[in-house]
């Protein structure tokens, strides 16, 4: 028996997830700036601590 293919819906869920991730990253940067802690980001295949 062949598996049924799902109908492809426009990915509004993915758009909401992307928006939420950007919003939470912004909030994390604000918190780091307020407390003077570094922000860890991925650059050139390495994890780097950046000052806010």
pLDDT interval class at 10 (50, 70, 90): low
The CA distances from residue 37 to 7, 23, 52, in Å, are: 46, 19, 7
pLDDT interval class at 3 (50, 70, 90): confident
Q: Are 28 and 21 in contact (CB under 8 A)?
A: no
According to the model, what pLDDT value does residue 40 have? 94
The pTM of this model reads 0.65
3-state class (DSSP) for residue 44 = coil
Q: Are 49 and 39 in contact (CB under 8 A)?
A: yes
- Mean pLDDT within 19-45: 95
Tokens standing for residue 9? 């819906």
């Amino acid at each position: 028996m062949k598996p049924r293919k799902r109908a492809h819906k426009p990915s509004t869920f993915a758009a909401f997830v992307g928006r939420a991730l950007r919003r939470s990253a912004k909030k994390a940067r604000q918190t780091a700036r307020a407390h003077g802690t570094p922000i860890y980001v991925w650059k050139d295949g390495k994890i780097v601590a950046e000052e806010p």
